[in-house]
Amino acid sequence: MKTSMSRFQIHDDLTAPEGSVKVLRGALASGGQLPNFLGVLAGSPAALRAYARFRSELRHGKLTLATLERIALAVAEHYHSEPGIAIHSRTARAAGLELDEVALARQFTSKDPREAALLHYLQALVVETGRPPMHLHEEAREAGWDDEEILEAIAAVALEQFTAMVNVAGEVPVDGSTEASRSLRAA
């Protein structure tokens, strides 16, 4: 059985650069287990701090956790980010999304017409990597999304794209395989 190994070192609070330790300890205190992504990102204290601040601000915005998880699932799927798909499938379920809704979110859609309108707008932004057609913007507005929510959704896309890019570029293993990768690296 082949065990995935990250291209980047997966740090913990004992191996991370000094500037990352405080953020990692905060993540450990609130979550219990450190995600491999954060362990990798700890290799750059500035990147880790920026990520933590960005994520924290979005968690205190107008979008619900369920909406943020739908966005995260769609972006992770688009980038083929295995760690992102795994963690956001779990957190989406914890946020109340049913299995079929998790699967739909991975395809930039939802059974909820309001959520679907926002995801279709964001899909055009991510997949087409250009200006989303005006009709999609108007459909999101007509579905009840205001400017603040749409801007937060775009910010969430940017954050999740960054996360997916690090996961994919670094070949970051899905959480739970850290110890196996560390053992292989040490051998």
**16-27 pLDDT per residue, tens:** 999 999 999 888
Helix, strand, coil content of the chain in percent (nearest 5): 65, 0, 35
Mean pLDDT of the chain: 89
pLDDT in tens, 175-185: 875 444 443 34
Q: Cβ neighbours of residue 159 under 8 Å, at least 6 residues apart?
A: 51, 54, 55, 58
pLDDT in tens, 74-133: 999 999 999 999 999 999 999 999 999 999 999 999 999 999 999 999 999 999 877 889
| Helix spans in 95-133 (H) | 99-105, 113-127
Structural domain boundaries of the chain? Answer: 18-59+171-186, 65-169
pTM: 0.88
Instruction: Please give the CATH topology (third level) of the domain spanning 65-169.
Output: AhpD-like (1.20.1290)
pLDDT in tens, 26-85: 888 776 678 899 999 999 999 999 999 999 999 999 999 999 999 999 999 999 999 999
- Whether the pLDDT of residue 149 is over 60: the answer is yes
Tokens linked to 65: 């956790």
Instruction: Assign 108 to helix, strand or coil.
Output: coil
